[in-house]
């Protein structure tokens, strides 16, 4: 198992796209059963970090440890099979497929197939609107419903760590509140999560620990309540 209660440790990771380096020696860790936020302005490297951690990008240096094992070079599929799952920015649903078919696609790992019925019942109980629309093509749903489906599909993979990139982007405020309540519930159930979120105030309110990313580097970290009190954070992200 991972040391010090951490399930995921990112050590001195540098990454980017081709010759363009976006991340510079980024280190962070996720404590088991905790919700961690990663916040910062647009374009500072939050999505790049998520994509690097799950294996969609290869780091130029550094290491990703999952449950105490170096998984840096594993494929995204192999990491998902171990329980490291990403809900990507922009949802990336199979828009010509129904809600039910999208959920089925989420349950592709061995660990998920074993508990398929249980996980399906759970996400339908958590997202009753998806149950009502199980036969509807996902591309015809509202943005909020699609985001619910993206999270539910991630849960169908039975993650040990769920990483969510921009949960509330473009959604109506009442839907944002609903989704953050789901996050709170999942946290109370003991799921380890990493949240990238533009709504910094909501992210800091719901999470246990936070990292502030600026220009590809960790600028600040600490318990979320403490980060929320930081003067620079208040001015830059909370409009205070």
What is the domain partition of the chain in residue ranges? Answer: 3-83+160-237, 93-159
The per-residue pLDDT for 135 is 96
Cα distances (angstroms) measured from residue 19 to each of 45, 60, 174: 15, 10, 41
The per-residue pLDDT for 240 is 61
The per-residue pLDDT for 1 is 36
The per-residue pLDDT for 3 is 43
pLDDT (tens digit, 0 to 9) for every residue of the chain, 240 residues total? 344 589 999 999 999 999 999 999 999 999 999 999 999 988 899 999 999 999 999 999 999 999 999 999 999 999 999 999 999 887 789 989 999 999 999 898 888 888 899 999 999 999 999 999 999 999 999 888 999 999 999 999 999 999 999 988 888 888 889 999 999 999 999 999 999 988 899 999 999 999 999 999 999 999 999 999 999 899 888 766
Predicted TM-score of the model (pTM) = 0.91
Which alpha helices (H) appear in the chain, and where do they start and end? 46-54, 76-82, 99-106, 110-114, 116-126, 128-132, 143-156, 173-188, 200-206, 224-229, 231-237
- Cβ atoms of 213 and 26 closer than 8 Å: yes
Q: Which residues pair with 11 in a beta bridge?
A: 63
**Per-residue tokens: 26:** 């980024």
Q: What is the CATH number of domain 3-83+160-237?
A: 3.40.50.300
């Amino acid at each position: 198992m991972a040391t010090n209660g951490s399930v995921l440790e990112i050590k001195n990771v540098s990454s980017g796209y081709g010759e363009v380096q976006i991340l510079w020696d980024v280190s962070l860790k996720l404590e088991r059963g905790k919700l961690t936020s990663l916040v910062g302005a647009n374009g500072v490297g939050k999505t790049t970090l998520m994509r690097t951690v799950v294996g969609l990008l290869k780091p130029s240096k550094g290491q990703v440890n999952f449950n105490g094992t170096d998984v840096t070079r594993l494929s995204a599929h192999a990491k998902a099979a171990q329980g490291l799952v990403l809900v990507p920015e922009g949802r990336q649903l199979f828009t010509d497929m129904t809600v039910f078919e999208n959920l089925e696609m989420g349950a592709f790992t061995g660990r998920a197939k074993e508990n398929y019925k249980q996980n399906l019942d759970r996400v339908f109980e958590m997202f009753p609107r998806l149950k009502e629309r199980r036969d509807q093509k996902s591309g015809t749903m509202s943005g909020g419903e699609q985001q619910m489906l993206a999270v539910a599909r991630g849960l169908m993979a039975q993650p040990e760590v769920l990483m969510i990139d921009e949960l509330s982007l473009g959604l109506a405020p009442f839907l944002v509140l609903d989704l953050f309540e789901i996050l709170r519930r999942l946290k109370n159930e003991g799921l380890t999560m990493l949240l990238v979120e533009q709504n910094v105030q909501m992210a800091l309110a719901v999470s246990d620990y936070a990292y502030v990313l600026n220009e590809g580097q960790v600028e600040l970290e600490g318990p979320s309540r403490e980060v929320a009190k930081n003067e620079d954070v208040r001015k830059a992200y909370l409009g205070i």
